[in-house]
A and B are shown apart, each in its own frame.
Chain A
Amino acid sequence: MEFDKKKLPKENLHTLYRVKVETIKPFALMLGPTYLFFKANEKFVLVKEPLEFFTDVELTRLDLHKYFYFPSTVASILPIREAGQRARSLLEMKEIVFDKNIGSAEEDAYPAVILPPSSFELSDRILRTVGPLWFTYPQDGIAVDPFLVTIFVNEVCDLLPAERLIKAREQNSERIDQALFRSSWVVFLALHLGYTDLNVLNDLRLRIFEENMDCLDPPVSILNELDELIEISYQSFENSKMQLLRMDFFSKQNVKISQKLEDRFARIKNSLVNSGSPPAFVFEKWGQEKWGQQKRGLTDG
């Protein structure tokens, strides 16, 4: 993802957010443009663009600088990331075996077990978590930004495998964004449908990411609900032209999965959609416009 503000003057320090280098994991996708402060130039220099990643070698090398700096727009992304963390914590819930004799010589043959939440309880809580990620836009109605979806799903799912990311960067760095957007969008919709198994979501994300990087076509024959979901998510993504992903797209479709989604969206519309506040964004206005133009050009091309 391109970002034009390559350098910032040192006077911008008071507007930038800091992150310790040591807290960043290798191959984690960055939430926004990442800067380093170079003392020699007395300037902040862009080292990573949004959704790019650091390798472990890079992080070791940059550890001397101690901090990475992010523009203030990243503050609006943080709640999205936190929502992702919450969703992940829900999906990670497993049964707890409570053995009161732990540590003693005598083991309890029939220990108490605290079961994980049932599928519908999880589905309910997940919908309550993802619902506020939908924003009401003045022109597009209720929609969600693919960038925010990617940030959210990146927190929900495991990090993409290192070797796959490196290979993707070598293959086509421009295509990575599209692959990330599409795979995240499929996972995001799967969460709406009550898919609450983290392993399945991880596999699904990786599968779509690889298919997009390898320029494979979506499945020709639809054999199950998952195939149908992938098909309709691709259609909606193409329809959006990598801009806002609109909710009303699904009301125009006549397939089973769209009906299911539509009925779930009805609940979001009624009680969960984030309509009071302006949507989160990572780009400043000029950057966003430029980015949109660039992406449109790329899609048209």
Chain B
Amino acid sequence: MVNFGRHKIRSLDTFGVSGLLSEQAQVFYSALFYPKQIGKVSDLLAARLKKSGVNEVKLRSILLLAVFHAYQSQSKQKRGFWPFSRSEPNESDPLDQPIILECGIDSEKLAIGVCFNLSKNITLDLESISDRVSKKEPKDSFEEMLVEIQNHTDRLVLKSEASSRRIELVGLLGIEGKIDLMSSQHREPMEVVLIEHTNGQAVSKPRVYIELGDLDHLQLLRETLGKNHISPSGAGEFLAPVESFSSTQEIPVGKSAITRQEADEEFKKAMASETGALQKNNEAKGEVHQKTPISTFQSYLSQLFKKIHILKSKNSANNSDEKLAGGSSQGFGAGNVQGSNLQPEEQVDFQALIQAGEMGNPNMAVRKLLAELRVGKLQRRLLGIDSELLSIRKEIANPHAIAWIEGILNAVTQERKHVHDLTVKLERNINLKEFENKKKLTDLQEELKVKESSLLLKSNALTQAKDQVTQLNVQMGRLKAANSSSEDDVNYKEKYNLANKLLDSAKEEKIQFQQKFEQFKVLNRQLLDKFKQLKEEKNLLKVENEKLKAEVVTTIPLEKMGNGAGGGSGNSSGSSQAA
């Protein structure tokens, strides 16, 4: 396992540089499809990492070497491994997947990783490749490239996935002052890591992944040409002569050519005066003035064309001076300048256009300019001016004039860059604004439609409510009409009263009947009781009668035994009486 710096290597079993760095690392990455503008990528990274103390030359070397080789290897056409060989890739040779560039940095080291697919034309022999590379005894062009890259790194790691022939080269660079570079002088051999399958594996996270597009590249790659300060001469500064000793004017002399700095200041003053005047004018009109990119852009253009106009007039003046002095008539003349490469339709006086109000509408003006930029008119015009100025320079023998023209040329170049930057910004802003405006418009339209539909619903509901009110009114009217014919009601009322009376009398009768019924019930109970008493008495009488009969039966035989036969008729009559 490769060891470099205080922080231990966290993991090597996946592609990417984050495993080689600490958890606090930042990883910048980009997906590259062609090597064009790779210099700009290295510029951006170098600018971003400027303060980190990284060796910029090494950083750029590794990056450029690795990316060019990766592109050469991954492109579909068959060719040797080295770039710029006989058959070079071109635009019609696209990659089927991107080269992944990663550049990670932690507190002590930088890791630059380039991940790509190895061409099938290259036979990768990983056995003892590390020894061969460290001994600088490469077997093939791929190993030659590894040797080359290793020369620029403090440590080199080669990761390889066999089935897909995916390769990642990671170069490690120590940051001076943060890592013991003396110990790293003893270069360890290249580490070779075989990666099997990456699915489902958790990766070692860095603190943040930053796509290079998310960096403020406009700020980081801002050019500073022309802003250099000219140190004053030790022999003193000469001032222009004055009318009297009391004069306090101190105008320096000997600055025939306009320096870039002066031009900038002059331009700023002009801009300030112009915007100030515009602001005053707008304030006078009661408008709130804002310095928009469009107005700045217009002013830039107008200034640029003003300067070109001045240049032309000065050139023509020079020419006439030369003529007066008996100089060569083949110098650059006004006719030469006017009969330049500029096409008639390209000779647009923007200042005049602005004054004429043709560009008064900012949107129209910007659209026009953007259209021109898109089709390359402006670019062509500027290039035409450049070529014109170059031809002028060739024709002039005067070194002061050359210096002067060079100054102007620099100014024009700088202006062109300014204009280009502004155009890019402007186009982006316009695109965003357009999108936002369209979104807003759409939203408003949608909102309007929703409101319309809700309004429609409400109006429908209102109509329905009105209909209901109308129906109710109609019903009320009918009821009123019905109330007005009340003769039948009287009869009904009488009948009703009569029926009520009948009902009352029926209720009373019902109550009386109920009372009588109760009385009958009571009588019935009394009768039943009496009947029961009588029954009991009857039973008692029967019992007594039976007793008496029994007594009679017992007493008669005894009398017969006591009285004989004669006396028998008299006793029988007497017993029957007793019974």
B449: chain A residues at CB < 8 Å are: 72
A203 to B96, CA, bound (A): 8
A114: chain B residues at CB < 8 Å are: 376, 379
A121 to B164, CA, bound (A): 30
A213 to B479, CA, bound (A): 73
Do the beta carbons of A278 and B14 come within 8 Å of each other?
no
Q: Is B172 an interface residue (CB 8 A)?
A: no
The smallest beta-carbon distance between B47 and chain A, in angstroms, is 12
Do the beta carbons of A123 and B212 come within 8 Å of each other?
yes
A116 to B33, CA, bound (A): 12
A122: chain B residues at CB < 8 Å are: 213
A117 to B214, CA, bound (A): 15
**Interface 1/0 per residue, B81-96 and A, CB below 8 Å:** 0000000000100111
B199: chain A residues at CB < 8 Å are: 220-222, 231
Choose, from B411-419, B438-446, B484-492, the stretch at the interface: B438-446
The residue on B at minimum CB distance from A90 is B431
A222 to B94, CA, bound (A): 23
Choose, from A5-13, A19-27, A260-268, the stretch at the interface: A260-268
The smallest beta-carbon distance between A134 and chain B, in angstroms, is 13
The residue on A at minimum CB distance from B16 is A256
The smallest beta-carbon distance between A179 and chain B, in angstroms, is 21
Do the beta carbons of B214 and A264 come within 8 Å of each other?
yes
The 9 closest A-B pairs by CB, nearest first: A123-B213, A118-B37, A124-B213, A223-B164, A120-B212, A197-B33, A222-B199, A118-B40, A120-B213
A sample of 11 cross-chain residue pairs with beta-carbon separation below 8 angstroms, ordered by A number, consists of A75-B446, A115-B36, A120-B217, A121-B213, A124-B213, A125-B213, A196-B33, A199-B94, A225-B100, A259-B209, A263-B208
Given contacts A82-B435, A200-B95, A224-B15, 10 further A-B contacts (CB under 8 A): A118-B37, A118-B41, A120-B30, A120-B44, A123-B31, A125-B428, A132-B439, A200-B98, A224-B97, A225-B100
Do the beta carbons of A197 and B163 come within 8 Å of each other?
no
Residues of chain A at interface, number, CB under 8 A: 60
Q: Choose from B15, B95, B431 the contact partner of A197 (Cβ within 8 Å).
A: B95
A98 with B164: in contact, given A123-B213, A124-B214 (CB under 8 Å)? Answer: no
The smallest beta-carbon distance between B456 and chain A, in angstroms, is 12
The smallest beta-carbon distance between B35 and chain A, in angstroms, is 10
A197 to B30, CA, bound (A): 13
The residue on A at minimum CB distance from B434 is A82
Do the beta carbons of A79 and B442 come within 8 Å of each other?
yes
**Interface 1/0 per residue, B429-470 and A, CB below 8 Å:** 001100110111011011001000000000000000000000
Q: Choose from A82, A119, A254, A280 the contact partner of B202 (Cβ within 8 Å).
A: A254
Q: Is A162 an interface residue (CB 8 A)?
A: no
Q: Choose from A78, A94, A115, A126 the contact partner of B442 (Cβ within 8 Å).
A: A78
How big is chain B's contact interface, by range? 35 or more
A278 to B438, CA, bound (A): 13
A200 to B97, CA, bound (A): 6
A118 to B495, CA, bound (A): 107
Contact residues of B between 160 and 200, Cβ < 8 Å to A = 161, 163-164, 166, 197-199
The residue on B at minimum CB distance from A114 is B379
Q: Is B359 an interface residue (CB 8 A)?
A: no
Choose, from B240-248, B300-308, B380-388, B532-540, the stretch at the interface: B380-388
The residue on A at minimum CB distance from B440 is A277
The smallest beta-carbon distance between B332 and chain A, in angstroms, is 19
B551: chain A residues at CB < 8 Å are: none
Do the beta carbons of A121 and B217 come within 8 Å of each other?
yes
A83 to B442, CA, bound (A): 14
Q: Is A255 an interface residue (CB 8 A)?
A: yes
Q: Is B215 an interface residue (CB 8 A)?
A: yes
Contact residues of B between 105 and 123, Cβ < 8 Å to A = 115, 117
A72 to B452, CA, bound (A): 13
A-B contact count (CB 8 A): 167
Q: Is A228 an interface residue (CB 8 A)?
A: yes
Contact residues of A between 246 and 301, Cβ < 8 Å to B = 254-256, 259-260, 263-264, 267, 274, 277-278, 280
Q: Is A54 an interface residue (CB 8 A)?
A: no
Do the beta carbons of B442 and A98 come within 8 Å of each other?
no
A127 with B439: in contact, given A119-B41, A254-B202 (CB under 8 Å)? Answer: no
Q: Which B residues have a C-beta under 8 Å from some C-beta of A?
A: 14-16, 18, 29-34, 36-37, 40-41, 44, 91, 94-98, 100, 115, 117, 161, 163-164, 166, 197-199, 202-203, 205-206, 208-215, 217, 341, 376, 379-380, 383-384, 387, 428, 431-432, 435-436, 438-440, 442-443, 445-446, 449
The residue on A at minimum CB distance from B28 is A120
The residue on A at minimum CB distance from B19 is A256
A83 to B209, CA, bound (A): 26
B210: chain A residues at CB < 8 Å are: 263
Do the beta carbons of B37 and A119 come within 8 Å of each other?
yes
Q: Is A58 an interface residue (CB 8 A)?
A: no
A115: chain B residues at CB < 8 Å are: 36-37
A75 to B15, CA, bound (A): 45
A159 to B145, CA, bound (A): 41
Do the beta carbons of A264 and B98 come within 8 Å of each other?
no
Q: Is A166 an interface residue (CB 8 A)?
A: no
A112 to B217, CA, bound (A): 24
A83 to B436, CA, bound (A): 11
Do the beta carbons of A78 and B438 come within 8 Å of each other?
yes
A301 to B30, CA, bound (A): 41
A277 with B443: in contact, given A112-B383, A127-B214 (CB under 8 Å)? Answer: yes
B376: chain A residues at CB < 8 Å are: 96, 98, 114
Do the beta carbons of A117 and B31 come within 8 Å of each other?
no
Do the beta carbons of A193 and B31 come within 8 Å of each other?
yes
B98: chain A residues at CB < 8 Å are: 195, 197, 200, 225
The residue on A at minimum CB distance from B40 is A118
Do the beta carbons of A222 and B209 come within 8 Å of each other?
no
A175: chain B residues at CB < 8 Å are: none
Q: Choose from A100, A119, A194 the contact partner of B341 (Cβ within 8 Å).
A: A100
Do the beta carbons of A254 and B197 come within 8 Å of each other?
no
A203: chain B residues at CB < 8 Å are: 96
B117: chain A residues at CB < 8 Å are: 224
A117 to B409, CA, bound (A): 25
A300 to B400, CA, bound (A): 84
Do the beta carbons of A223 and B214 come within 8 Å of each other?
no
The residue on A at minimum CB distance from B420 is A114
A247 to B18, CA, bound (A): 24
Contact residues of A between 77 and 133, Cβ < 8 Å to B = 78-79, 82-83, 86, 94-96, 98, 100, 112, 114-129, 132
Do the beta carbons of A79 and B14 come within 8 Å of each other?
no
The smallest beta-carbon distance between B417 and chain A, in angstroms, is 13
Q: Is A76 an interface residue (CB 8 A)?
A: yes
A90 to B574, CA, bound (A): 162
The smallest beta-carbon distance between B57 and chain A, in angstroms, is 21
A221 to B163, CA, bound (A): 10
The residue on B at minimum CB distance from A255 is B203
A125 to B215, CA, bound (A): 12
A194: chain B residues at CB < 8 Å are: 29-31, 211-213
Q: Choose from B94, B100, B115, B443 the contact partner of A278 (Cβ within 8 Å).
A: B443
A98 with B380: in contact, given A79-B435, A226-B97, A259-B209 (CB under 8 Å)? Answer: yes
The residue on B at minimum CB distance from A231 is B199
